[in-house]
């Protein structure tokens, strides 16, 4: 795997130009020589296919052959960069690499490629990697050279995997994936119950994932785990170990969905109402005095009109 050639910033422009020309000439000669050798000794596809399948029978490679992560409520899975590197080595006459083309303004321009020297087929991907690491709290800028290298190498490995998959026939890759699954599922020397117990202990010690969380992820008790469930958990463990995903993307962490209780603050007392000046009360209406009854007429008085109304 190639990487960009570093130059000394203190060299004069003439020295840099001569150095770049020498490097370009040497690389061109190496490529020409590799293409001549590849055509002189072409690959035997049947033998190359057999070597890939044989390599996938190794348990250590089979456990690292697949990646899996959650996205949008679905699981995304596929062959890992380790499997594709092994396939490229066994297929033969393939040149692969990751090159840093430029680094400035807090970002790196990268190129990943895979070149079939025999068929003269080349797949190239150019991409930009910002020197920035996202976190749940927002993220931060990368300043250390080691952090920048790890970031660019990690992003480059993903593009390199896609480039190799564009060179090696798809049916060969599918056969390699199936063989890796058979290697893990077909390991019957160790009892399944012991394998499950060991995996539970490994998850708990390395990533603080308990048995209850694993059972909820699979959908059944650990006593009912099958070989395929073990294979699925192995893919998840690989993704967590490589930093492709976090445990929150797979498992429900107890208490993670509970919001911290807010301390109830008593409401401030209502402001006292300002006493308004007393308005003068309206004078009570004066009641007319009760009319005094008229004096009774004398017995010998003549009758009045009011007396006529009564009859």
Instruction: Annotate 110-154 with DSSP letters as a single string.
Output: EEEEEEETTTTEEEEEEEEEESEE--TT--EE--SHHHHHHHHHH
The pLDDT-based confidence of 7 (bands split at 50, 70, 90) is very low
Q: Work out the mean pLDDT of the chain and round it to a whole number.
A: 79
The pLDDT-based confidence of 194 (bands split at 50, 70, 90) is confident
Query: Per mean pLDDT, which of 12-26, 167-181, 193-207 is the most reliable?
Result: 167-181
The pLDDT-based confidence of 6 (bands split at 50, 70, 90) is very low
pTM above threshold 0.85 = no
Average pLDDT over residues 32-56: 93
pLDDT of residue 130: 95
Count CB atoms within 10 A of the CB of residue 25: 10
pLDDT of residue 157: 94
Average pLDDT over residues 98-107: 93
pLDDT of residue 31: 82
Q: What string of DSSP letters covers 42-85? A: ---HHHHHHHHHHHHTSHHHHHTSEEEEEETTEEEEEE-HHHHH
pLDDT of residue 111: 96
Q: Are strands 140-141 and 74-79 parallel, antiparallel or unpaired?
A: unpaired
Query: What percentage of the chain reaches a pLDDT higher than 70?
Result: 72
- Residue-wise pLDDT tens digits, 137-184: 888 999 999 999 999 999 999 999 999 999 999 999 999 999 998 887
pLDDT at 34 over 80: yes
- Residue-wise pLDDT tens digits, 105-131: 999 999 999 999 999 999 999 999 999
What DSSP character marks residue 222? Answer: G
Torsion of CA 27, 167, 149, 234, to 10 degrees: -150
pLDDT of residue 101: 93
pLDDT at 257 over 70: no
Q: End-to-end distance of the chain based on CA atoms, in angstroms?
A: 136
pLDDT at 259 over 50: no
Region of poorest pLDDT, from 25-34, 68-77, 180-189, 300-309:
300-309
Query: What percentage of the chain reaches a pLDDT higher than 90?
Result: 39
pLDDT of residue 218: 83
- Residue-wise pLDDT tens digits, 127-149: 999 999 988 788 899 999 999 99
pLDDT of residue 258: 46
Distance, CA of 212 to CA of 240 (rounded, Å): 18
The pLDDT-based confidence of 187 (bands split at 50, 70, 90) is low
Distance, CA of 81 to CA of 157 (rounded, Å): 7
């Amino acid at each position: 795997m190639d990487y960009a050639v570093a130059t000394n910033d203190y060299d004069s422009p003439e020295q840099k130009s001569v150095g770049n020309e020498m490097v370009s000439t040497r690389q061109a000669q190496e490529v020409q020589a590799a293409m001549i050798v590849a055509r002189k000794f072409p690959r035997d596809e049947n033998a190359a296919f057999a070597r890939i399948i044989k390599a996938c029978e190794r348990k250590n490679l089979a456990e690292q052959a697949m990646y899996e992560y959650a996205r949008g409520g679905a699981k995304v899975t596929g062959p890992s960069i380790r499997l594709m590197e092994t396939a490229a080595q066994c297929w033969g006459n393939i040149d692969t690499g990751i090159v840093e083309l430029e680094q400035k303004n807090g970002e790196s321009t990268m190129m990943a490629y895979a070149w079939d020297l025999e068929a003269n087929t080349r797949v190239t991907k150019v991409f930009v990697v910002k020197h920035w690491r996202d976190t749940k709290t927002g993220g931060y800028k990368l300043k250390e050279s080691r952090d920048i290298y790890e970031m660019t190498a990690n992003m480059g490995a993903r593009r390199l995997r896609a480039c190799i998959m564009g060179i090696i026939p798809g049916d060969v890759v599918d056969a390699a994936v199936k063989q890796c699954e058979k290697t893990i599922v077909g390991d019957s020397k160790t009892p399944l119950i012991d394998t499950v117990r060991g995996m539970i202990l490994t998850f708990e010690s390395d990533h603080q994932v308990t048995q209850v969380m694993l059972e909820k992820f699979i959908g059944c008790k650990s006593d009912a785990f099958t070989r395929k469930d073990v294979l699925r958990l192995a893919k998840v463990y690989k993704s967590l170990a490589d930093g492709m995903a976090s445990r929150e993307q797979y498992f429900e962490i107890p208490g993670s969905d509970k919001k911290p209780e807010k301390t109830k603050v008593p409401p401030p007392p209502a402001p006292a109402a300002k006493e308004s000046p007393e308005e003068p009360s309206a004078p009570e209406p004066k009641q007319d005095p009760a009319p005094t009854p008229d004096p009774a007429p004398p017995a010998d008085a003549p009758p009045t009109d009011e007396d006529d109304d009564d009859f």
